């Protein structure tokens, strides 16, 4: 019976500028003039920008509002980036369809590796390898816990070792 309950097609005027291999998976109106569009490559925002699934730290659906926490690059290091949470973006969706489920599924699927490690004296770091749609391998990043001395040389050295170890553990044998 699902065949007879199809959602209307995304209006051409609201279709974002998709890449050649990109396809629309789901969409939901934010208001009369703007939409959120989930594709195999990421989430198109009403502003016309796309967040890749690997660029979203967290997506929460309240039943009415979709809240997205994007990642923001704080620092580039050799072989990985240090990420922090960008400001949360919220969207009230009165007819969400399966968009919230697509967003959650795609964000979760983008995680290829994750592990949390305590760091002295009272901090920690999460090492994450994310899949990027259309690219081979994992994109590596870290997120430090609050109160971690991010730039302290011993912390940077340990983080470098943790990321290298994770990369080695996830590299297929030659």
The stretch 1-17 carries a mean pLDDT of 74
27: Cβ contacts below 8 Å, ≥ 6 apart: 10, 14, 35, 36, 37, 38, 97, 99
CA 10 – CA 8 distance, rounded (Å)? 6
pTM over 0.75: yes
Q: Which helix (H) or strand (E) holds 35?
A: strand 35-39
Could you report the per-residue pLDDT of 15-55, keeping only the tens digit for each? 999 999 999 999 999 998 899 999 999 999 999 999 999 99
The answer on pLDDT for 69 being more than 80 is yes
Distance of CA 109 to the CA centre of its chain: 10
Q: Is 44 inside a domain boundary?
A: yes
Could you report the per-residue pLDDT of 54-64, keeping only the tens digit for each? 999 999 999 99
Question: Pick from 43, 40, 67, 38: which is nearest to 55 by CA?
Answer: 43
Range of the domain at 115: 22-170
Q: Is 5 inside a domain boundary?
A: no
In the chain, how many domains are there? 1
Distance of CA 147 to the CA centre of its chain: 24
């Amino acid at each position: 019976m699902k065949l007879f309950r199809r959602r209307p097609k995304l209006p051409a005027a609201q279709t974002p500028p998709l890449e050649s291999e990109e396809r629309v998976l789901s969409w939901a109106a934010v208001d009369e003039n703007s939409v959120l569009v989930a594709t195999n490559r990421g989430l198109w925002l009403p502003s016309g920008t796309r967040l890749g699934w690997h660029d979203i730290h967290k997506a929460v659906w309240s039943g009415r509002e979709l809240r997205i926490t994007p990642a923001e690059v704080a620092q580039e290091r050799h072989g990985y980036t240090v990420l922090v949470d960008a400001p949360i973006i919220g969207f009230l969706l009165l007819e969400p369809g399966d968009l919230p489920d697509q967003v959650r599924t795609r964000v979760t699927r983008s995680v290829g590796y994750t592990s949390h490690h305590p760091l002295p004296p009272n901090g920690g770091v999460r090492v994450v390898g994310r899949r990027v749609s259309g690219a081979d391998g994992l994109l590596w990043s870290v997120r430090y816990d609050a109160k971690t001395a991010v730039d302290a040389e011993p912390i940077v050295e340990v983080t470098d070792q943790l990321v290298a170890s994770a990369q080695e553990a996830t590299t297929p044998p030659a």
